[in-house]
Amino acid sequence: MATSESATKYLLDESRIPRAWYNIAADLPAPLPPVLHPGTHQPVGPDDLAPLFPMSLIMQEVSTEREVEIPEPVREVYRLWRCTPLYRARRLEKSLDTPAKIYYKYEGVSPAGSHKPNTAVPQAFYNREAGIRRITTETGAGQWGTSLAFAGALFGIEVQIFMVRVSYNQKPYRRALMENYGARCTASPSEETQSGRAILAQRADHPGSLGIAISEAVELAAQRDDTKYALGSVLNHVLLHQTVVGLEAMEQMALSGDQPHVLIGCTGGGSNFAGLVLPFLGQQLRGEGPRYRIIAVEPAACPSLTRGKYAYDFGDTGHLTPLTKMHTLGSTFTPPGFHAGGLRYHGMAPLVSHLKELDLIEARAYHQNACFAAGVEFARAEGIVPAPEANHAVRATIDEALRCKEEGRSQTILFNLCGHGHFDMQAYIDYHAGKLADQNYDEGELAMALAGLPSVGA
């Protein structure tokens, strides 16, 4: 373990892999709004979710226990890459000429190249324990699909993935990796489901959205008793599994001798952001630590936290899911086809949305060219090429470091570098060629999508 003042890397050996996930529901100053049945608008119970998820995950979804034990078979798989390293970005600090100290937790060392296996592995494990032989899911940029394909291979589960069509076309190597792990990957919207066919009947060249892909995956899962559905973000149990990131980071920051003032993560559905910040925020809420500035960073072309409405909405376009209260752009909203495919979701995790409503976190949005510029600057200083999604966190980190420079303040910034960009190089090629456009969402489409929100009483 590195402890010197000049260290650039802080490592924990595999014995330090957390033995329990942290559940912030135990420390919230106000409980989450309930999940509602779309027909009755009454709170759903475990039986309502049983067609989609194994009961073990349903119990985690509604748990208010502060700690949830990580099964040993899951920790055994985690040992393939955890604990992940924490870096001090000294070269970036020097290039920015900032008094700020910059740290990043690097999740790109996982077999799938991102943070997503942190929840894919336990979800596959719990499904196998329940006797499930097939899992359906959706994926945007492909990081979640790759991770579930990897986990399915380890636990002998067939995986069917609906990949948002624009990303399916943009990222053939990500698709190839899913297939290499044994999964079946289909462009969404597809002709394989009623939901997909309905969308294609309206627009044959539809670019797809995560909401549509979720509808297709949920539809197939509900048709067979041996099949369940898995989600890579948004839900409470997914965010719970990701807290291994923040739990390790807290221990590593203690090794560094520094305490973060600012915590940053990119947000699409909210899982990598929550994974880093929730353990720190829980410490704050219990009165055991300082008050942190926590910044959620999203794309300006799909700005659920900064532009969406906090309301009950469906998680999918086909309206097959329960209603959750979240910051939403409307379930029928289709964002432009920008390259950070993993951030192209119409809604934000209910838990992250709740934290925003409680003024415990702040949010900002960036266009993609500014984010790619930050990613290139980071790569030239630190050597790691970030995924397009992670570039949003890099952008905000650089801006915060420059703020420290302007103010003459030495603050410590910690961000989650949630994945590498090795399968996203076409996006970087387009950026360097000047072909990336800063796309804006259609204001008219957004207004229509928000007008169609379900009418749910107080």
Q: What is the pLDDT of residues 341-376, one digit of tens each?
A: 567 788 999 999 999 999 999 999 999 999 999 999
Mean pLDDT of the chain: 93
Fold of the 9-19+70-113+237-451 domain: Rossmann fold (3.40.50)
- Look at residue 64 in the predicted model and tell me its pLDDT: 95
The yes-or-no verdict on residue 315 having pLDDT over 90 is no
Domain ranges of the chain: 9-19+70-113+237-451
Least confident of 188-197, 225-234, 313-322: 313-322
How confident is the model over 60-73, as a mean pLDDT? 97
Q: Tokens for 231, please give them.
A: 């989600």
The yes-or-no verdict on residue 299 having pLDDT over 60 is yes
Q: What is the pLDDT of residues 412-436, one digit of tens each?
A: 999 999 999 999 899 999 999 999 9
The yes-or-no verdict on residue 4 having pLDDT over 60 is no
Give the separation between CA 73 and CA 71, rounded to whole angstroms.
6
**Higher pLDDT residue, 440 or 104?**
104
- Look at residue 1 in the predicted model and tell me its pLDDT: 43
Q: Tokens for 292, please give them.
A: 């942190």
Say if CB 222 and CB 51 are below 8 A apart. yes
Give the separation between CA 74 and CA 218, rounded to whole angstroms.
25
The yes-or-no verdict on residue 172 having pLDDT over 70 is yes
Say if CB 137 and CB 160 are below 8 A apart. yes
How confident is the model over 394-402, as a mean pLDDT? 98
Q: What is the pLDDT of residues 373-390, one digit of tens each?
A: 999 999 999 999 999 999
Give the separation between CA 388 and CA 370, rounded to whole angstroms.
11
Q: What is the pLDDT of residues 184-228, one digit of tens each?
A: 999 999 999 999 999 999 999 999 988 899 899 999 998 988 999
Give the separation between CA 403 and CA 334, rounded to whole angstroms.
34
Least confident of 91-95, 201-205, 280-284, 353-357: 201-205
